Structure 1
């Protein structure tokens, strides 16, 4: 692959990162074992497939022109053994141990002198499940590229009826959303704007939406400690769709309402006063056109107040639905959430020197990130071992203690909660609150199907 300049938003992600505040996203993929497939076989398979993906053999280096820019270069000293490793977990509850270790591994920065990714095979003694933890720098992958990388590493099984062992490569489904960075209002006065009218409109919306009194006492805001904690849960996708049909809106509206209700019950359960103003969520959307090449991040976002102060679950869903309808009517290129549109217009030097200020300004716009990560609809496996679940993990913005990512696979919505480890030691309680909230929302109707327990 030839030299390729980092796209403006990728450059922003690259410069937003510090050792104490990494900007990588990730996923914890859990597999069921198959007799005869040893951990060493899986480790070699991961390494061979990762090494065959050209993007994973590239690293970032500064360039002379444009001033302040950076580019992807082939790493002539690439060694996949530096990127793929195995960790044997202690005996006990596998998911508890895997999520604990995944949190610790996610807080470790990726080496900036190497291709910015890592993979870990997590397994334990015996014949139980195993997991693969994937870490990718956000400059390396948005949703489409992350799914494409996953498609190159995992097997996609043919649909039911063609035989369990039949493996067929299929083009990944282009995702709609992933995490944009907190590139806030500081960039407005910097650089040359391509579409002046659009950029000024977005900039004005950003200024109007910015909150300059940041004396928040909620658990969602905290000074970054550099630590990470992961918690997971699963929701029944059929239950989500049932509520959507009963109440209107989209499945994403239902999930956002579930997160709002879960935050409410979690805050009350820990004895914390509800905030005076509803916390604001950043909800990413993709600006990539269907079928377009995956060249750099192409992202925007909506801002949505999560109605944690509303005690009625159905009313919370109505408030979320109407809020998202207003956002969609404005479109992803307008409104206060479209800060990534401005990042696309800034010259590289502005990203290099403006990143620290922009990163620290995230709290002026939002309190929590909630992102959905679509996956291929076909069944996935690794070396014949079927994939059980994929828990996505989003990076945290500075000054914030929680990010929520969701993906749907195998009839389940897998929820990955990433938190500052010191700020939210009770993150597992929030995972249970997410599960309980969907159950209670569905209990407001008749013919309630069974909802699975948290992972």
Structure 2
């Protein structure tokens, strides 16, 4: 396995970190079993990891072909009694463990015949794929080597920096993470609560452009504003800044492409009490100050030395680093072209990324004209989830309305 892929595999049994990735696709009809099988064979199974099991040692795991592989062991059709059962079912399916002796992935087809719709839930260990790789496999097409500013948190062609500049960025990262945050620390339980909702992309893109930034800047500004409002209502004071950990995808090409190809970027996002525009511009400036196209990649060097370290030390370090942030965010572009699974059109796409040891993770999947948002929290963090979602949605709506108004002027 590539170094980072191996780290995720070694963390598989930790009840808090739980390095499992889930993609949830809403389909416009009930799938035909024969078409679904054919679709799996020409998409997922083109990646040999999906027909391999994990061998080697814990510190040096490797993929090896599974001679007993059969697709029937991995695709499960589940009849759904009603839409109200879907959230509970997703929670249970996300939490179910994998076994070591077969390829660590499952696909669940959740049929709702009364509504004439289905859900396709793909669950896999993070050692097999990150969010962008899942999109590539599902769609059967490669993501562009350089994505547009509207799609990605940062570009993929880093400029050359002087050594002193790089040292300065490392120093700022260490100082920001080591500094006391004032945020409450919780003994997390490993349980999960998921909330799924959608917002239109057009207004958010307009807000990003009008403030001199991108869609990603607008999303992060709206999330920061909403979370800070929630914190003010529940803790009695509004924070002046939030610490976010943003997963930024890269685009390595070639036959040796790793399953996970991203870096984590630490962001200190200011909270501005003034107008939506002032807050947007402040967040945009903060993101660009991290280096934007050339943020510090601490994950690569840390993964490279991981085989030399005991698993317990890796767990403790990742938990400490994750817990020093208010939230973790992933922004995954799924494109504007229609996706089909088993002959059925995909109408919505949601992602569920690992919570790690942060109070919450937020996964943003942009598909066609909609941003599909998943909020993943641990109940031990004590969040009033409906109130938190309300504040985030309100902030997103304010940002959209401001963007639309600027678009019309």
Report the TM-score when normalising by structure 1: 0.76
- Partner residue, 2:363: 405
Q: Say whether the 8 Å CA contact 2:36–2:341 is kept in structure 1.
A: no
- Partner residue, 2:340: 381
- Partner residue, 1:58: 52
**In the alignment, which of 15, 30, 33 is matched to residue 29 of structure 2?**
33
- Partner residue, 1:211: 178
- Once residues 140 and 341 of structure 1 are traced to their aligned partners in structure 2, the CA distance between those partners, rounded to angstroms, is 17
Q: CA deviation at 1:310?
A: 3.1
- Once residues 248 and 362 of structure 2 are traced to their aligned partners in structure 1, the CA distance between those partners, rounded to angstroms, is 15
Q: CA deviation at 1:132?
A: 0.8
Unaligned runs of 5+ in 2: 154-162
- Partner residue, 1:147: 135
**Secondary structure of 1:294 counterpart:** coil
- Once residues 197 and 356 of structure 2 are traced to their aligned partners in structure 1, the CA distance between those partners, rounded to angstroms, is 22
**In the alignment, which of 67, 92, 99 is matched to residue 76 of structure 1?**
67
**Secondary structure of 2:183 counterpart:** coil
- Flag the 1:349–1:107 CA change in 2: closer, same or farther, 3 A: same
- Partner residue, 2:321: 362
- Flag the 1:389–1:340 CA change in 2: closer, same or farther, 3 A: same
- Once residues 90 and 347 of structure 1 are traced to their aligned partners in structure 2, the CA distance between those partners, rounded to angstroms, is 45
- Partner residue, 2:157: none
Aligned pairs (5 A) from 1:278-289? 278-289=241-252
- Once residues 258 and 294 of structure 1 are traced to their aligned partners in structure 2, the CA distance between those partners, rounded to angstroms, is 34
Name the count of aligned residue pairs.
394
Q: Say whether the 8 Å CA contact 1:278–1:305 is kept in structure 2.
A: yes
Q: CA deviation at 1:174?
A: 5.2
Q: CA deviation at 1:209?
A: 2.2
- Once residues 28 and 102 of structure 2 are traced to their aligned partners in structure 1, the CA distance between those partners, rounded to angstroms, is 32
- Once residues 213 and 164 of structure 2 are traced to their aligned partners in structure 1, the CA distance between those partners, rounded to angstroms, is 32
Aligned pairs (5 A) from 1:163-242? 170-173=141-144, 204-211=171-178, 213=180, 216-217=183-184, 221-242=185-206
Q: CA deviation at 1:267?
A: 3.4
**Secondary structure of 1:346 counterpart:** helix
Unaligned runs of 5+ in 1: 1-5, 153-169, 180-195, 451-455
- Once residues 76 and 442 of structure 1 are traced to their aligned partners in structure 2, the CA distance between those partners, rounded to angstroms, is 52
Computed over aligned residues only, the root mean square deviation of the Cα atoms, in angstroms, reads 3.3
Q: CA deviation at 1:173?
A: 3.9
- Once residues 221 and 13 of structure 2 are traced to their aligned partners in structure 1, the CA distance between those partners, rounded to angstroms, is 33
**In the alignment, which of 301, 311, 314 is matched to residue 342 of structure 1?**
301
Q: CA deviation at 1:20?
A: 1.3
Q: CA deviation at 1:51?
A: 4.7
Aligned pairs (5 A) from 1:307-318? 307-308=270-271, 310=273, 312-318=275-281
Q: CA deviation at 1:291?
A: 6.8
Give CA-to-partner distance per residue, 1:196-233, whole Å, 9 cap, x none.
Answer: 9999777644432223646632xxx5322121121111
Q: CA deviation at 1:244?
A: 2.0
Q: CA deviation at 1:61?
A: 1.9
- Structure that is richer in helix per residue: 2
- Flag the 1:266–1:32 CA change in 2: closer, same or farther, 3 A: farther
- Partner residue, 2:269: 306
**In the alignment, which of 223, 246, 260 is matched to residue 224 of structure 2?**
260
Q: Say whether the 8 Å CA contact 2:177–2:321 is kept in structure 1.
A: no
Report the TM-score when normalising by structure 2: 0.84
**In the alignment, which of 391, 397, 406 is matched to residue 350 of structure 2?**
391
Q: CA deviation at 1:141?
A: 0.8
Give CA-to-partner distance per residue, 1:341-381, whole Å, 9 cap, x none.
Answer: 32243151226453122123224642311110111432111
